[in-house]
Structure formats: C-alpha cells, structure tokens
Amino acid sequence: MTFNKLDTLVEKNSTQNWRLTAWLIMLLLAFLLIWANFLTIREVTVASGVFVSPGGIKKIRHAEAGIVEGIHVKNDQVVNVDAPLILIKASESGENREELKARLDKLFLLKIRLNAEVQGKNNLEYSEKYEKSLSKEIILQRQKFDARRLQIESLASLFAEKAKLARREVREFEEQLRAVKNNLRMSMKRYAMSKNLLNDGLIIESEHLQLESELQRLKVQEQTLSSSIPQAKEKVIVAETQIRELTNQFRSKSQIELAKTEKTIVRIEKLLASPDDQGMRTMIRSPINGVIKNLMYESVGNVIRPNEPIMEIVPTEVSLVVEAKLKPADRPFVVSNQSAIVKLSAYDHARFGALRGSVTSVSPVASIDESGKSFFKVFVRTYKSFLGNDPRNFKISPGMLATVDIYTGEKTLMDYLITPVMQLNQKAFRER
C-alpha cells in the first residue's frame, strides 16, 4: 500500500514538472516569435572598390598662346580656391586676334547646342549668319547633337522596356491573386461543408484532409502573391527613377559644359575688346584647395602654347570618394543618398574602425571588366579622410582598396525566415 502511494506521488510530481516545462517552452517560443517579428535587420549590398580623389588631380591649362609675365607659386606650395597662380600675357599679333575671333564664333555655336541639350530640344537651329559663314562647323555640331540625343534615347528606351515588363508583371500577379482569392473562398466553403459531413460520418477523413491541404496551399499562394506585388511595383519605380537619373545626368553634364563655354566666351570677348596690354593679360587662379605639383614654368618670359599643361594641383579635400563595382543584380536597390560603411583593406576594421559615407551617384550604364564580367560603377563619398579621431594618424590616400557596405533597406527577422519558404513554394510542384 505504501508503494502504491509513493508511485502516485512520483507520477503526480512528474506530470506537474512536465507541464511546467511545456509551459516554459511554449512561452519561450512565443517570445522568440514576437521578437523575430519586431527585430529589424538592415539589408546590405557589398561592393569592392578603390579610393579616388573627388575631382582627381587638376591640370591647369590656358586656351590661348601667351608669355609668362608673373609666377606666384612654387612646387609643393599649398593654395586655396581662387589663389593667383600665374600671370600670362596673350599674343598681340593680328593673326592671333583673328584666331580668337574664329574661336569665339565656334564657341557661340557650341553654346547654342549645349543650350538645346539642357532645354531638352529635339532640333538644333542656327541663325542664317552662322549657316552661311560656318556651315562646316554647324554640320559638326548637329552631328554631335544627334549622336548624343540618340544615345540618351536608346538608354532611356532600355529602362522604359524594363518598366514596361515590370508593369506587366504587376498586372499578372494581381490577376493571379484575384483568381487565388476566388479559389480560396470556394475552398473555404467546401472545407466547411466537408467538416460538417465528417462530423456526421458521411465522408471519410482522408477526403477531408485533402480539402484541408488544398486550403492551406491556396493560403500560402495568396501570401506569396501578396508579397510579390510590392516587389514588382518596386521594379517599376526603380526603372522610372533610372530614366529620370539618366536624363538629369545628361542635362547636368551639358549644363557644366555650358558654364565653362560661357566663361571662355566672356574671357575672349574681354581680350578682343581691350586694345591695350592690360586687357591682353590673364591671371590664372586655382580652382580648388590643393598642393602645387609639376610646375612647368619657373621663370618669366617662357612661351606657353595653347592648351599646354602649366601645372598640376593635387586636391586636399577632407572627404574622399570610393569608386566601387556593383553587381548587376544589386543595381535596382542602390540609389543616391543611401548611407554606407567603408572598410579599408589595409586596416582591420574591427581594430581601427571604418568610415561612414553616402552614395553620391550610380552609373546608369553597365561596364565590363578585364574578365568580361558586367558591373555598375557606384560612387560613395566618405565624411572624412582618416580613421579614428586624430587627423594625423591613419590617413587615407587615393589608390587604397576598400569594401563598401551600402544599406539598401530593412527587414524583420521573421521576413528572413519566411522568405526561403515563400521561394520554395513558388518553385515547388512544377514538375511534369
């Protein structure tokens, strides 16, 4: 009798312990599910690249021939923006003035073409006075205008085709979703009727399980299509954004070239309008902050030929730019102003840290490397050019290799866990 009581107590305690353990496991699983549903993880696109100077080394040139009248800098000297570099006296011969006039006419033709590109015109029109005297130059400018317009239109048509395919994909997904929802409603009705018949013993359980399996399959299919539609719509947005970026980049490039052309026109008009020596002098100034290198002329009286390099200026900007190679599959998810982390190959980022930066631009057209693989150029500007807190230590210079982590979005841990299941469901049950 004593043993029976002891067995009863042991069995009772074991059951209570098992129930407590089961409840703890269920609570833990519930907590993990809730935690996975709210924990956000950043989506990262990785690209390898190299540090480059933002504007590269600036080569200082002079468009016209001249004579050095004054030198205000020397090699390795640090200069600021607009600092005087070298004073040049233009040639005073009548032949040179005629060359300047001819150059001015060509610049006016170039200005008209660039204005047409900036304004997005389809035709290039010149006045009659240019048509008669500069017919060959006009033909050349029109050829350039048509070639650049065809180039931008061909690239835009590629992105437009991508947007068209993505819109078609959205429509197909929406049609499939409507069909699945209709089938799901019918399946739910059949399932409810089958459940009642099963309770009454009018059908066998295997038939009911088949309907239940079909119902679950339709529910999963509905979830898959519901998640696929936003992704397809995102493709449409990306393609349309690429078209706008392509057009803006084309017009921006023409705008920059137009500004340079107008500046040159003003300078030549000033030279032609001034009969005295003072008007024929030009002070070359520094376009950036930097260090003077390779000064070609160190004495007054040297003759400078047109467009000949006079000196170089190495930029000393605080930030640097990483030119990285982006995989074609990652291109739709990378856009301007996304934050990024730059890790240098020369320094262990776990010990020395990394640099923060942001995406400045992404090339609209793919390039091909030496091995024949396609890639897109992505440019990331860093917020500083050194690691750590001391600018004197761990400086970064152009040419250093780096790995760029670009933050393209966020997902919950649950999304990451469910995505493989969704993909498996899309690919499953397709065999013959």
For domain 41-69+289-431, the CATH architecture is Beta Barrel (2.40)
- CA end-to-end distance (rounded Å), the chain: 68
| Residue found under tokens 């301007």 | 336
Domain boundaries, the chain: 41-69+289-431, 97-273
Contacts of 321 (CB under 8 A, 6+ apart): 51, 52, 53, 54, 360, 379, 380, 381, 382
- Three-state DSSP at 405 gives strand
Instruction: Say what the pLDDT of residue 93 is.
Output: 44
d(CA 168, CA 160): 12
CB 268 within 8 A of CB 100: yes
Structure tokens at 393: 């230590």
Instruction: Say what the pLDDT of residue 128 is.
Output: 74
d(CA 64, CA 200): 102
- Fill in the amino acid letter for 195: K
Instruction: Say what the pLDDT of residue 340 is.
Output: 92
Instruction: Say what the pLDDT of residue 404 is.
Output: 92
For domain 97-273, the CATH architecture is Orthogonal Bundle (1.10)
Instruction: Say what the pLDDT of residue 406 is.
Output: 92
Encode the chain (432 residues) as per-residue pLDDT tens digits: 455 555 555 555 555 666 777 778 888 887 777 776 776 777 888 898 888 766 667 888 887 778 888 889 988 888 888 899 998 876 544 446 677 778 888 888 888 888 888 888 888 887 777 777 777 888 888 888 888 888 888 888 888 888 888 888 888 888 888 888 888 888 888 888 878 877 877 778 788 788 888 888 888 888 888 888 888 888 888 888 888 888 888 888 888 888 888 888 887 787 777 655 444 677 888 888 888 888 888 888 888 888 888 898 877 665 678 889 998 888 888 888 888 999 988 888 888 888 889 998 888 878 888 787 888 899 998 887 778 777 667 777 777 889 999 988 777 766 666 666 665 665 555 554
| Residue found under tokens 């997904």 | 173
Instruction: Say what the pLDDT of residue 420 is.
Output: 66
Burial of residue 230 (CB within 10 Å: 0-12, 13-18, 19+) is exposed
